Structure 1
C-alpha cells in the first residue's frame, strides 16, 4: 500500500486529513511535529511527506531541510501544508520541497499534487557521498546550537537536542565510512561525542517525576521523556483528545 507521512500539529486537521487519505487508499503515518516526523522516518520509508509549516519543537522548514540533506531520505518528496497568510513566506522554503498546498485544502488538488511529486521524485538522482553526509551533519549541528542558546534549553528542548546529537554523530560516522581521510569530520568527531555525553549528564541531573519518570511540560502540556526513564510516547498522567 502507498504510504504518506502526515506531519500536522493540529489534532483535528491531522485526523481529517488522515481520514481523507485513508479513503483514497493511502496508509497514513501520523506525526505531531517536525521532531516526531524525523523519528518516524527512521523506521519507515513513506512515498511522500505532507508537512505543516508552523509547529512546536521543530517547524516545517527546518524539518524539510533535514529530510532533504539526509542521503537516506533526500528523495522522499515533501509537500508543505500552508495557511493563506504563509504563502508568501513559503517561497523561501519551497526550494527545499517539491510543492505546497494551501489550507483549506481541496482533496482532489491534494491527491493530484501527491501523484505528480512522486513521479517527479523517481527521476531525481540519489547522492550518497561523504560531502552530502557532512552537510547533513553541519545542518544538525547548527540546529543544536540554536536550541542550546534558547531559554530553558535543558527543560524545554532536552530530548530534541539529544536526538539531533545522535543524528549528527550518525552523519559523521557515515562521512568517515565513505571517506576515512575526511579531515573536518575527524576533527569534529571526538568533540561532538564529548558534547553529547556532557549534555546527557546534565539532563540526568534534572529531577523527574518519581511516578512516571517524565519531566517538565515542554510545550506547557506534554511532558518530555527523561533520558534515564522508560521510553513511551506520552506521559501517562496526561490524556490527549
Structure 2
C-alpha cells in the first residue's frame, strides 16, 4: 500500500528530487512551493504525509506545521521537516508537533524510509492530541505488506 505525500519546498530542484524519489517507490506526490500554498491545497489533496522545508517565503515550515496542528482537519497528519535541521529547527519543530526530521542533503533511501514510517504509523492521536496506543509508538522495525 502506498499513499499520497504533499511535498512543500520553495526550491524547485529539491521538490523535483523528492518527488522523483517517492514516485519511484510508488507514492503519489503533490507539491507546493511554500507553507501558504500548502495550507491552500491540503484539504483538497488529502495527503497521508506532509514534508516541509523550514526556510520558505510567505509562510515557513515551522509556522506551517503549527497551523496544520491547530486545525482539527489536519491535526493528525504526519509531518516531516526536510531541512538543514539545526538545533533551532529541531527544537521548534518538536514544539510545533513535527513527527520526523531529515537533514539536507539527504540520502534518497532515508527519505523513503522516513515517509514509509510515517505512512504506517498505527494510532491517530487521541482527542487531547497525545499519540498513544499499545503497539504504535515507533514503528521503525515493523513493516506491513
Would you say the 8 A contact 1:6–1:50 is kept in 2?
yes
1:125 match? 125
CA distance in structure 1 between the aligned counterparts of 2:47 and 2:124, rounded to whole angstroms: 16
1:66 matched to 2:55? The reply is no
1:111 matched to 2:118? The reply is no
- Name the SS for the 2:21 alignment partner: helix
Alpha-carbon distance, 1:87 to partner: 1.9
CA distance in structure 1 between the aligned counterparts of 2:38 and 2:126, rounded to whole angstroms: 21
CA distance in structure 2 between the aligned counterparts of 1:117 and 1:22, rounded to whole angstroms: 16
Structure possessing the higher relative contact order (Cα contacts under 8 Å, 6 or more residues apart)? 2
Alpha-carbon distance, 1:126 to partner: 4.7
Would you say the 8 A contact 2:21–2:112 is kept in 1?
no
Matching of residues 122-201 of structure 1 within 5 Å: 122-127=122-127
CA distance in structure 1 between the aligned counterparts of 2:32 and 2:126, rounded to whole angstroms: 26
CA distance in structure 2 between the aligned counterparts of 1:28 and 1:12, rounded to whole angstroms: 15
1:14-48 deviation digits (Å, cap 9, x = unpaired) = 11111111111111101000000011112121110
Give TM-score, length-normalised by structure 2.
Answer: 0.80
Would you say the 8 A contact 1:47–1:76 is kept in 2?
yes
Would you say the 8 A contact 1:53–1:82 is kept in 2?
yes
RMSD of the alignment, in Å?
1.6
1:38-74 deviation digits (Å, cap 9, x = unpaired) = 1111212111001000000000000000111111011
2:88 match? 89
Report the structure, 1 or 2, having the larger helix content. 1
1:15 matched to 2:37? The reply is no
Q: Which has the larger radius of gyration?
A: 1
- Name the SS for the 1:43 alignment partner: helix
> Structure 2 stretches of 5 or more lacking a match?
129-145
- Name the SS for the 2:29 alignment partner: strand
Would you say the 8 A contact 2:3–2:119 is kept in 1?
no
Give TM-score, length-normalised by structure 1.
Answer: 0.49
CA distance in structure 1 between the aligned counterparts of 2:21 and 2:48, rounded to whole angstroms: 17
Runs of 4+ in structure 1 off by over 6 angstroms are none
2:55 match? 54
